[in-house]
Amino acid sequence: MKNYRNYLKSIIIFLLSLIVYLFIITTLAYFNVISYKVVSVTSFIFITLLFMYNGFMMGKISDAKGYLSGLIIGGVNILLVVLLALILRCFPGIKSLIYFLVLMLSSTLGGMFGINFKRK
């Protein structure tokens, strides 16, 4: 039960961070403070780091196999993003699949780093 609570906590942190980031970046783009290219690069970097952070936190909590914890939380987060995209009628293409693969890889690496930084 404790494991599910950790996953739920990580998912909520992911969603809240994503919503706050999207609100800030959308506001800045709306008022033409930043260009579209800056928004796309910043979004890629932020979301990749957010996935890595979630994987890191789950790896830090897990007992063994941090890569598996990172892979699971990355898969759940990608599933949420895909469901959100489908609700908004944005069907993923080949570029999106490569993007999701990079996000999954960053989450897995975060889980690997997290298991090594675990307190004993």
Q: Read off the pLDDT of residues 39-93 as tens digits, 9 standing for 90 and up.
A: 889 999 999 999 999 999 888 888 778 888 888 888 988 888 888 878 877 777 8
CA distance 110 to 77: 14
CA dihedral 77, 80, 81, 83 (to 10 degrees): 160
Mean pLDDT score across all residues of the chain: 86
Query: Which one-letter DSSP state was computed for residue 89?
Result: T
Domain, as residue range, for 15: 2-116
Q: Which pair of tokens denotes residue 8? A: 């739920």
Q: How many CA atoms lie within 13 A of 36 on its CB side?
A: 0
Domain count, the chain: 1
Q: How confident is the model at residue 119 (pLDDT cuts 50, 70, 90)?
A: low
Query: What is the model's pTM?
Result: 0.85
